[in-house]
Amino acid sequence: MKTRSFASVCCLLLFGQLCFAQQGDPAGSFKPASTNQPGKLFPQVDATGRVRASLNAPQAQKVQLDIGGKKYDMTKDEKGVWTGESLPQDEGFHYYQLNVDGVSIPDPGSRYVYGAGRWGSGIEIPAADQDFYALKDVPHGLISEQLYFSKLTNAWRRCFVYTPAEYTSNPTKRYPVLYLQHGSFEDETGWAVQGRANLILDNLIAEGKAVPMIIVMDNGYANSPKANGAAGSKAQPVSVFEEVITGEVIPMIDATFRTKTSRLDRAIAGLSMGANQTMRIILNRQDKFSYIGAFSGTPNYPSSDALDPAVFLEGKFRDGGAINKSFKLIWLGLGTKEPDPFPGSIGAFRTMLDKQGIRYTWYESKGTAHEWLTWRRSLREYASLLFK
């Protein structure tokens, strides 16, 4: 009896949700999001980018949809099912959550991703140019998990490694490598899941727009077990990410995969915090990379203050000619809707480069903010210029 009763309730709930979708959306424009868990009808997205969420919570007093920096009140029907809609959201991938009586929870209808410092919900708003990161009938590469013990952090770590589709069919060929970093409050899964880096490269390579390459995606949070702080003060963790990448990850990747090991065949890029890390690595280890990509970030991130080039470059590059000879590509990208401080900090960095006579490639992602569609587009543009 209990099993039958539970099944009946589930059927009624499903029927109620279907009826709401038909009555509240006469045009039928709301569709289940592509990021939903299998078989889940909600959340849904319409042609304008509005998000509709639903939650069965009969005992709740207040439920809200929290997305795009705003909270939208949801309404409860007689069966205890809450439903609500957002205003139109920008195209691309967004983190969101539900708020139940003041407590934020993931939406049980969405696949969970790691972002915004938590495992939670993410939703895809279809983009007009989504074809470049779509799953297509082309040869597909492989993403593998690489576990390693870091002596610098005294902990087990992992990175994800993309190898192009031809990697297994050409057992003697060696490949150039791109080290690709995530942003703040994300981890090594970000580029493979939210960023769709593998699909972007699969499509570029299939179209002949990118050189087949290996991509390494590591965790940007790497702290030394030795804290930094004076005696009696609150100790601060010391980041050793630069040392982990150059001293541990690169040697491991070169020993494990068929890589080209010259700096001319090695690139690095990152988004936001990862862009800052990329630039810091370059300042200290210019012998490791010849291609630099900064997506929505620079070394002066997040400050918008103009920097003295001699101070900023720590005396390593006193003139633009030295940098122009050293690096094959310096690539900078930004969304046209990015909030402060990103336009200011990146603008100050570009001014410094111009004064130094340093060559760089500039890209603007039209209509996007500090989010994944900006960075997907950035990867497409950057990767198409590498190793040529």
CATH number at residue 192: 3.40.50.1820
Backbone torsions φ then ψ of 209, nearest 5 degrees: -100, -10
For residue 108, give its domain range. 28-126
At 385 the pLDDT is 98
Residues 217 and 321 in one domain: yes
- Let me know whether 302 and 259 are in one domain: yes
* Residue 169 CA: distances (Å) to CA of 72, 106, 161, 175: 51, 42, 17, 13
In this predicted structure, what is the pLDDT of residue 353? 87
**So what's the pLDDT on residue 303?**
61
Instruction: Supply the pLDDT for residue 237.
Output: 85
277 and 144 share one domain: yes
Domain boundary among 71, 95, 126: 126
Predicted pLDDT at 9 = 33
| Within-domain flag for 304 | yes
- How far is it, in rounded angstroms, from Cα 336 to Cα 331? 16
Q: 178 and 101, same structural domain?
A: no
Q: What's the number of domains the chain is made of?
A: 2
The three-class DSSP label of residue 12 is: helix
Q: Looking at residue 25, what is its pLDDT? A: 56
Is residue 328 in some structural domain? yes
92-101 burial, b if ≥16 CB within 10 A, otherwise e? bbbbbbbbbe
Question: Which distant-in-sequence residues (6+ apart) come within 8 Å of 110 by Cβ?
Answer: 33, 35, 36, 37, 40, 43, 121, 122, 123
**82, 76 contact by CB (below 8 A):** yes
What distance in Å separates the CA atoms of residue 269 and residue 273, rounded to the nearest whole number?
Answer: 11
Amino acid 90: pLDDT = 94
The confidence score (pLDDT) of residue 6 equals 34
User: How far apart, in whole angstroms, are the C-alpha atoms of residue 166 and residue 241?
Assistant: 31
Q: Looking at 126, 144, 170, which one is the last position of a domain?
A: 126
Whether residues 219 and 327 fall in one domain: yes
Residue 107 lies in a domain: yes
User: At which of 95, 126, 157 does a domain end?
Assistant: 126
What pLDDT is attached to residue 190?
A: 98
Asked, for residue 12, whether it belongs to a domain, the answer is no
143 and 75 in a common domain: no
On whether both 162 and 254 belong to a single domain, the answer is yes
∠ Cα 370 371 373 (to 5°): 125
Is 1 inside any structural domain? no
| Same domain membership, residue 205 and residue 345 | yes
Q: What is the mean pLDDT of each run of 10 residues along the chain (388 residues)?
A: 38 39 58 97 97 98 97 98 97 97 98 96 97 98 98 98 97 98 97 98 98 98 79 74 97 98 98 94 90 91 53 57 91 96 89 88 97 98 98
